[in-house]
């Protein structure tokens, strides 16, 4: 009986040797854990910094012809980052595609990666074990925060998102954690009515800076954070815990 991916689809896995990853955080995970197997990635796969593999376009709109030209025996995709029609086309061309579910929590993300590595290569990377230990506990809530990830229009982190759980484990309660949408698009007036203790501004997907973002929230302390540490699940989770803890200990007024 074939193993199934996070969405329940059967996938034939037998020590894949030619992997194309369409998910930046999983690209990093494979590159660190099984580098010889990684043969392609998206333009947005920026880590490891020295990653040198063929590129196949963006995560949302990869060039499927380029993917097929690499003759992969496995493509890794994600239910939120990648389009079903691209997954369907790859499968129609005989390519094994393992689709991971968009994680709602840190444990969910790590469990998904653990199963992928165990199923594909009978491997449990050291970084994964360290990340499980680092993120196992949840601190008491000490601050509330607003977390924009885009502007024009404003988009914020909402319910059931990885970033919301990352912050909650650090003692930061997202003021949109109970919103009906995962990524609400409130007006700036609504955002300023929230009056959280802190505004958290990541550098991806929108690159917020001291000059671009904080001025929209007059009177509120803010902090700039590494967006990869807030939203990527993989080896970066090991460095993310101390890095975010340091950054969130200080707000800028």
pLDDT tens profile 219-251: 999 999 999 999 999 999 999 999 999 999 865
Q: Are 88 and 144 in contact (CB under 8 A)?
A: no
Tally of domains within the chain: 2
Question: CA 205, 250, 241, 168 torsion: positive or negative?
Answer: negative
In a domain, 252, yes or no: no
In a domain, 137, yes or no: no
The DSSP letter of residue 102 is: P
Do residues 84 and 160 share a domain?
A: no
pLDDT tens profile 165-192: 999 999 999 999 999 999 999 999 999 9
Domain boundary among 86, 102, 118: 102
Average pLDDT over residues 91-113: 97
In a domain, 5, yes or no: no
Q: Which domain CATH number covers 45?
A: 3.40.50.1980
Q: Using CA atoms, how far apart are residues 53 and 32, in angstroms rounded to an integer?
A: 13
Reported pTM: 0.93
- Please list the residues that pair with 10 across neighbouring strands: 4
In a domain, 238, yes or no: yes
Do residues 186 and 97 share a domain?
A: no
Paired tokens of 100: 């991971």
pLDDT tens profile 5-39: 999 999 998 899 999 999 999 999 999 999 999 99
For residue 46, what are the domain limits? 19-102
What phi-psi label fits residue 37: left (phi over 0), alpha (psi between -120 and 50 degrees) or beta? alpha
């Amino acid at each position: 009986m074939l193993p199934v991916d996070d969405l329940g689809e059967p996938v034939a896995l037998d020590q894949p040797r030619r992997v194309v990853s369409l998910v930046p955080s999983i690209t990093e995970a494979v590159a660190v854990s099984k580098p010889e197997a990684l043969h392609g990635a998206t333009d947005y796969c920026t880590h490891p910094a020295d990653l040198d593999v063929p590129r196949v376009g963006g995560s949302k709109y990869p060039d499927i012809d380029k993917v097929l030209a690499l003759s992969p025996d496995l493509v890794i995709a994600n239910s939120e980052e990648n389009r079903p029609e691209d997954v369907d086309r790859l499968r129609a061309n005989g390519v094994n595609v393992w689709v991971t579910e968009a994680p709602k929590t840190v444990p969910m993300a790590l469990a998904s990666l653990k199963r992928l590595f165990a199923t594909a290569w009978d491997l449990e990377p050291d970084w994964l074990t360290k990340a499980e230990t680092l993120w196992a506990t949840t601190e008491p809530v000490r601050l509330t925060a607003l977390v924009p990830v885009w502007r024009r229009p404003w988009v914020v982190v909402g319910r059931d998102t990885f970033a919301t759980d990352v912050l909650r484990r650090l003692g930061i309660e997202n003021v949109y954690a109970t919103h009906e949408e995962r990524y609400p698009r409130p007006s700036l007036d609504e955002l300023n009515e929230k009056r959280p203790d802190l505004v958290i501004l990541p550098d991806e997907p929108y690159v917020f800076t001291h000059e671009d973002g904080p001025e929209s929230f007059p009177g509120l302390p803010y902090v700039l954070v590494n967006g990869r540490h807030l939203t990527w699940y993989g080896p970066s989770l090991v460095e993310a815990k101390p890095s975010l803890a340091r950054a969130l200990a200080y707000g800028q007024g």
